[in-house]
């Protein structure tokens, strides 16, 4: 299955804005990012995907969303590995699910 339709859907849901930095991303530059990286067991599913700009996607690499946000907030170049536990990954997934619901709910009203 191609992920291109999902990327377009997410791009529309997020009003063309990067999930991480909020910058507007032209549709042809939009990338699909895994909230919980696949290397950490994140599923290859829509609930684990967000649309992000290429710099964010590249920068985030295999960090958890939370780790990456700390990196953006502190402007730190060095990555702080927090050694995510199963619990942290579950929490990230749950958070993501709730956020997704909110976004979708807003769209439907």
Query: What residue ranges bind Zn ion (CB under 5 A)?
Result: 18, 20-21, 53, 56
Please, what is the minimum distance in Å from the beta carbon of residue 33 to Zn ion? 9
Kindly tell me which of 10 and 18 has the beta carbon lying closer to Zn ion: 18
- Please report the sign of the dihedral spanned by the C-alpha atoms of residue 98, residue 101, residue 61, residue 17: negative
Please, what is the minimum distance in Å from the beta carbon of residue 25 to Zn ion? 7
Please, what is the minimum distance in Å from the beta carbon of residue 103 to Zn ion? 17
Name the residue among 66, 72, 89, 71 with its Cα closest to residue 21: 72
Kindly tell me which of 53 and 92 has the beta carbon lying closer to Zn ion: 53
Kindly tell me which of 18 and 49 has the beta carbon lying closer to Zn ion: 18
Within 10 A of 28 (CB to CB), how many other CB atoms are there? 6
42-58 as b/e: b if 16+ CB within 10 A: beeeeebbbbbbeebbe
């Amino acid at each position: 299955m191609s992920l291109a339709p999902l990327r377009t859907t997410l791009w529309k849901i997020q009003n063309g804005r990067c999930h991480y930095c909020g910058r507007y991303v032209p549709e042809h530059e939009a990338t699909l990012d895994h909230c919980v990286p696949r290397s950490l067991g994140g599923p290859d599913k829509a609930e684990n995907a967000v649309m992000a700009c290429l710099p964010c996607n590249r920068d985030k690499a295999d960090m958890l969303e939370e780790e990456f946000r700390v990196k953006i907030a502190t402007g730190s170049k060095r990555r702080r590995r927090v050694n995510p536990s199963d619990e942290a990954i579950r929490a990230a997934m749950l958070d993501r699910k709730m956020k997704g619901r909110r976004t979708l709910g807003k769209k439907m009203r």
